[in-house]
Chains A and B, each alone.
Chain A
């Protein structure tokens, strides 16, 4: 089903509106709520001189609308302030860190969908039985577990105590050096593959496994719970009954017909939970010393690096809005009934 151009245009306009909303909220938050924004911007140990500079950079001596003008123009010019922890422009830091996070988050999402959706469907088909109750309990448990805690516990058990898996970082530095591994795109799986570097590829995957699993617990639980309840609901619908009456075997009804009804909303909600997962990555990356956006954000938070914090917040919110848009378009594309 082709998506109508009108809809795409309308949806893009909505995206612009949302982005402006995000900027408005962050403006109010950073410039209007704090009594002295320069204190936050320059860091807790700033000198009088640095504070004065910060006031100038933020145009705090000008009226609010001038401040807003500079805020927006700086944002669109890519000047997102300077992190006082790393002493470099925030946007640079963020873009450098992005691939590491994307690699982690994408892996976590693959895990979540590959395991979560079949698990939910299995549970639905065993509705009310013991195995259904077990899966249900486990997924509720998964959604109730603080990601930072389970990250710490598993890292200690599997990484530090038993040494089964690496306790942190993305790759063994020595191995990477010896084999001449060059991070080109920043996606290490991709880089090691294109360079045909098998030892590094295996090492990268080993490093990826634990943090990706921890990060996937929440979306995995979510997709499993959703696909379970949707499958139960769909199997009770009239169209499933008619296919049964007309002699289509149960297996085919479930895996060809009902599956599509389940997948469309599950994909949508998985897409939306990507936002939450990116925030979860703040904690997971911090624990596993994973040099991505989350680690950057986590360190910024722990050291109160305010420009960096706000930079991450805006970037993730923008990312989330774009995902929202993509999910909407996919939804329209997959479901012939949605015509907006």
Chain B
């Protein structure tokens, strides 16, 4: 109750957070509904080619204009929401599926085996973000699934490190010792006690990372190693207007704006949650040196 009131007060104090929440929820809703609310599905899926409608500027008929094949950009951007949602959720879910078990085992087993596992993780972290994903994507070849795979393979170490730290801090809590004394098995302790307690912060972090995953996926597409055309992925849509941008700016502008708005939503929300979670920042808002 008091926690809830605290959050409420914070959100009221800074409308920025409300915007974040609004952006993220509308992104998710549009992403789910996108295929069913298209006005020009054939354009959206990239099945049409109408030379007479090429490069039309924004108008009531085509709010975002048309592209070099005469397709309606608005419909393509709308459907792109679905792809971004799939990629974002897919990358984060797959990274969690790899990262959490690795971190969990390394943290729980500890000792030499645990250290060795974390050293492998560190090797992956020796690549700057995005670089490894680029290399992997180039190796796997273009494709929606390959893009998700390439990004996940470069992301999971972050989560295994998080899980590792979490497990180590939870492991030393008194009730885990208590469970051991009572004779609960190691595995049961791990799954019934350690895991649920370690999970919440990692899942929170991962949810907020969906925005960055979308950003990185769009970079892969832009560089030609991500999703192949004619998929209406936002990064790909931006790059499709690249050559003609000086006379048909709308082809690149609107998909890019969609990326900005979506990622912004996740980042605003992330900033708010970070402020709520961080006891030091929170103290600031409630300095009590009484």
Contacts and interface: CB of A to CB of B under 8 A. Distances in A.
Direct contact of A and B (CB under 8 A): yes
Nearest to B130: A279
A133 B264 contact: no
Contacts of B131: 275, 278-279, 313, 316-317, 320
B219 A304 contact: no
B271 A140 contact: yes
Interface in A93-148: 127-128, 133, 136-137, 140-141, 143-148
B118 interface: no
Contact of B127 (A137, A232, A310, A320): A320
Nearest to A137: B16
A301 B225 CA distance: 7
Interface string B105-135: 0000000000000010011101111111011
Interface in B118-164: 119, 122-124, 126-132, 134-136, 138-140
B98 to A, nearest CB: 15
A321 B127 CA distance: 8
Contact of B281 (A140, A233, A320): A233
A279 B284 CA distance: 36
A156 B123 contact: no
B245 interface: yes
A38 to B, nearest CB: 13
B10 to A, nearest CB: 11
Given A275-B128, A275-B129, A313-B135, A301 B235 contact: no
Given A149-B252, A153-B256, A236-B284, A283 B126 contact: no
A313 B119 CA distance: 20
A278 B128 CA distance: 9
A29 B135 contact: yes
B139 A40 contact: yes
Given A233-B284, A279-B134, A309-B134, A24 B267 contact: no
B240 to A, nearest CB: 12
A153 B252 contact: yes
B223 interface: yes
B252 A21 contact: no
Nearest to A147: B219
B122 A148 contact: no
Contact of A301 (B129, B223, B280, B281): B223
Contacts of A321: 126
Interface string A147-166: 11110110010001100000
A232 B236 CA distance: 40
Interface string B170-212: 0000000000000000000000000000000000000000010
B14 A146 contact: no
Contacts of B79: none
A161 B131 CA distance: 33
Contacts of A233: 280-281, 284
A69 interface: no
Contacts of B225: 301
B249 interface: yes
Contacts of A278: 128, 131
A160 B249 CA distance: 12
Contact of A149 (B246, B256, B280): B256
Given A40-B139, A152-B242, A320 B267 contact: no
- Where chain A touches its partner, the secondary structure class is helix
Contacts of B140: 33
A21 B116 CA distance: 12
Given A18-B122, A152-B252, A279-B131, A146 B16 contact: no
B138 A304 contact: yes
- Where chain B touches its partner, the secondary structure class is helix
Contacts of B256: 146, 149-150, 152-153
Nearest to B120: A21
B268 interface: yes
A301 B128 contact: no
B57 interface: no
Nearest to B15: A133
A317 B134 contact: no
Contact of A140 (B224, B252, B264): B264
A143 B139 contact: no
A144 B268 CA distance: 10
Contacts of B218: 146
A144 B16 contact: no
A143 B129 CA distance: 14
Interface in B276-290: 280-281, 283-284, 287
Contacts of B132: 25, 313
A264 interface: no
A317 B128 contact: yes
Contacts of B135: 26, 29, 309-310, 313
B223 A283 contact: yes
B30 interface: no
Interface string A318-334: 00110010000000000
5 contacts: A148-B219, A152-B242, A313-B134, A317-B126, A320-B128
Interface of A: 17-18, 21-22, 24-26, 29-30, 33-34, 40, 127-128, 133, 136-137, 140-141, 143-150, 152-153, 156, 160-161, 229, 232-233, 236, 275-276, 278-279, 282-283, 286-287, 298, 301-302, 304, 306, 309-310, 313, 316-317, 320-321, 324
Interface of B: 13-14, 16, 119, 122-124, 126-132, 134-136, 138-140, 211, 215, 218-219, 222-225, 235, 238-239, 242, 245-246, 249, 252-253, 256, 259-260, 263-264, 266-268, 271, 280-281, 283-284, 287
